[in-house]
Chains A and B, each alone.
Chain A
Amino acid sequence: MLKGFGGRQLRINLSTGEIRTSPLDPTFARKWLGGRGFVAKILYDEVPRNADPFGPENRLVVTPGVFSGNFGPSGSKCSFGAVSPLSNGEGDSTVGGHFGPELKFAGYDLIVFQGISPKPVYLFIDDDRVELRDASAYWGQGTMETEAALKRDLGEDFEIAAVGPAAENRVVFACIGHDYGRQAGRCGVGAVMGGKRLKAIAVRGTRSTPLHDLPTLKELTLRIIKRTAQHPNMAPWQKYGTAMFVGWSNEHGVYPTHNFQTTYFDRYAGIDGGPLVERILVTNKACFGCWMNCGKYSKVQIEGKDTVYVEGPEYETGSLCGGNCGFDQIEQVAYVNWLCDTVGIDTMTGGNIIAFAMECYEKGLITRKQLEGHELRWGNLEDVEHFIRMVVERRGIGEYFARGYQAAAAYIGGGAERYTCQVKGQGMSGYDGRGAPAMLLAYMTADIGAHHNRAWTITMDEDLGKDVIRGKAKVVVHLQHIRPLFDTISSCRLFWGEIDVTDQEHIDAIKLMTGWDDFTLEEAMRLSERIWNLNRAHFLERNGGPGRKFDYPNARFYEEAVPSGPAKGARLTLADLDVMLDEYYAARGWGLDGNPSREVLEDLGLEDVATNLERAGLLGQLSAPLPPVRGEKYKPKAF
C-alpha cells in the first residue's frame, strides 16, 4: 500500500464528461513525488508538441504532493500545471491554503483534465462521489464571489479553487483563486482552466491518509514547532509578513519603480509593512497546518469605493502593483490587489503589464483615445481600474494586453518591446537584476520565465559584489534545484528559507510519511534536476532552439543604467549576460547553445528525452566534461 499519498488519481475529459478513477502507481509516485514533478512528467508525456495551450489537448494538472495534508512541517500546498499560454512551455504554480490537503483527504493525489467542456462546469468531489456540475449560475462571477457562492450552496466544509472573468475570457495571465485571496498565480494556469470552461473545483474529504510512522513523524514535527517558535525570524515574520521588504528592497536599490525604469521609489514609506499593519490589517491568516501564519487579511477603505477585504498585499504585489505602478499609499496597493484577485489575474504579471502600459502611455505610444478617453497615469487608481477592466473584458486595446506582452508590443509598435519587463512571456518578479546580476540570470534561465521562486540570489549578489558577473552561475543552478523542490513535495518554502527547518528534516519527514527508508536528499535533488531538464526539453521541443535565444530579458536590462537611488549607475551589457549564460550552461552540463546534452540527460535517467531532442536536432554538445554534481551551495563570504 502506498503511504503518505491519497492513493488515487482522477482523469477527467471535459469534452465528453467522462470521469475515471484509478490507483496512483507507486513507482510513478516515488520517481516524481507529486506537485511540480507530476505536472512536468504528465505534460511532457501527454500534450502534443503542436497543441495550442487553449486547445482541448492541453492538460490542466492539479496535484497536492506528498507533504500536503500530512502532519509534517507545513503541508498546505497544491500545484496547478498546464502548458503555459505565456511561455508555450511547461507551467506550474502552487497555492497554499487548504485546497491541497482537502483533496488528499478525499483520497486524490492527482487530477488531470483534458478537453473543453461545451458549457461552464465545476468539478464536485465529495470523497468517492465525483461529478461535473453545471456552473452557469457562477459564470461571470469573481473568484471570491464564486468561492462564497459555492460554499453557500454546498457547505462551508468544501474547499474551493475557482477562476474569475479574466480566465473565462482567456486573459493569458489569469490565475486560480482559493481561500479568499490566495492564488496559483503564475504561468496563466487560470487561463487554461477558464479556457476549458472549468469554473471551479469544490472538494470535501473525510479520509485519513495512511502514514508509515505517525508517532515518529509527530515527534519530529513537534520538535520542529517547539524549536522554530523561538526562532528570531518568527516574530517579525508574523507581524509584517513579506510586506516588510518593500523598504529593504528600496534601500538596496533593487525595487522596481515605474516599470523598472529605476530601482528606488522615493515614496515607499507609505506602502511598506508598517503602514500595512498600522492602517489596514484586520488579522493574520494561516494555511493548513502552519504555525507561522504570515498571511495578512486587510480591510481597504477608500473614499468613493466600496470597502473591500483582501489577503495581502504581499511583497510581490507591494512592489509590482506598488511603486512599479507609482502607487504610494498602502490602501491603493491593497485595492489594486483586491481588484486583480477578484477578476482573477496574477498581481505579478498583471502589475507588470499595467506598468508596461503606463510607460507606453507616458511615452505617447498609447493614446487617450485608445484608452476610451481615460488616461493611464502613474499612481492613479481610476485609470488603473479602467485599464484592468478593458483588459479583462478584452475591449479595444485591452484585447492585445490580454494576449500577453508579445501581442501588445507588436500592436503598440514604436519599440514598445523594450518596455516589456519579462522573460519567456512571464513578467519579472519584484527585484531589478541590474543591481543583482545573479538575480537577472535566475530570471533569464528559469524554466517558467522570470519568476523568483526558482532562485533568489540577492543576498549573494550583495555579498560577492553587485557588479560581479562571474562565479555566481553554479549557485543559481543549485538554488534552481533546492527551491522548486518544495513545490514538488508541496510544502511551504518559507519554513526552510526563513525559520531554518532543514532540507534534511524535510527528507526525514518524507521517509516517515512513506516508509521509503532509503530515500535521500541526493535523490530528491536529482529529481529536481531531472524535472528542470525535462521542462527545458519540453520547452525546446515546443518552441524550437537554440534554447539560448529565449534566455534574454528585454533590452532595458542590458542597455540602460539605473538612473537613480542606491544602485544609481548600475548597468549590465549584453556581453555580461553572455558570460553568465556561458557559465550557467556549463554548470548545467548543457551545450553553449542552451540545449541539454545527452550526457546530462542520461545521467538523470532521461535517455528517451535525449533521443527526442536528437531527433528534433535540439541536443546540446558539451564543451567540457560533464560536472559530476550540477550546482553549488553558496557559502557566505563574510567569514
Chain B
Amino acid sequence: MMTVYLKGGGLLREYLQPDVDEYTRRVEVAEGRTLRQILEAIGIRPVHVAMAFVGNRLVNLAYVPSDGETITLRPPVQGG
C-alpha cells in the first residue's frame, strides 16, 4: 500500500471530504492504481474531475501516482 494526497476545491470538495486540511484528503491505495481507479474507490465519479495536476504538470485519469504524491483535482467550471 502507499499514500496519495488528493486536493480539490469548489463542489469537488464536497465529494472529496478532506481530512488533512481544508482541501486535502489522504488516501491509502495499492501501488499501480490509476487515478481513475483511486477516484472510483473513494466514491468520486471521474465526471466531477475536469483536470488533474501534479505540480504544474497536467495529467489524465490514466496517471499512476507515486507514494506520497499530491494530485490537485480541478472540478468542472461552475461560473461560466
Contact = CB atoms under 8 A, between A and B. Distances in A.
Contact of A498 (B7, B43, B48, B77): B77
Measured as residues with beta carbon below 8 angstroms from the partner, the interface class of chain B is: 20 to 34
Interface string B39-62: 000011101101101001010000
B17 interface: yes
A462 interface: yes
Nearest to B24: A232
* Residue of A232, A316, A493, A497 with most partner-chain B CB within 10 A: A232
A361 interface: no
B2 to A, nearest CB: 21
Contact of A242 (B17, B53, B80): B80
B23 interface: yes
Given A252-B47, A639-B17, A639-B43, A233 B9 contact: yes
A239 B72 CA distance: 14
A22 to B, nearest CB: 35
B80 A498 contact: no
Contact of A233 (B44, B47, B75, B80): B75
B77 A315 contact: yes
B14 A639 contact: yes
Contact of B10 (A245, A252, A493, A500): A500
A455 to B, nearest CB: 10
Kindly state the interface size class of chain A when it binds its partner.
35 or more
Contacts of B23: 230-232
Contact of B80 (A232, A235, A237, A452): A452
B47 A235 contact: no
Contact of B48 (A235, A244, A459): A459
A497 B45 contact: no
Nearest to A248: B50
A639 B80 CA distance: 25
A448 interface: no
A498 B10 contact: yes
A499 interface: yes
B35 interface: no
A237 B80 CA distance: 12
A459 B8 contact: no
Contact of A231 (B9, B44, B51, B79): B9
B74 interface: yes
B75 A459 contact: yes
Interface in A484-500: 492-494, 496-500
Interface of B: 7-11, 13-15, 17, 23, 43-45, 47-48, 50-51, 53, 56, 58, 72-80
Going nearest first, the 8 A-B pairs with the smallest beta carbon separation are: A497-B79, A494-B79, A497-B78, A248-B50, A462-B47, A232-B9, A232-B7, A233-B9
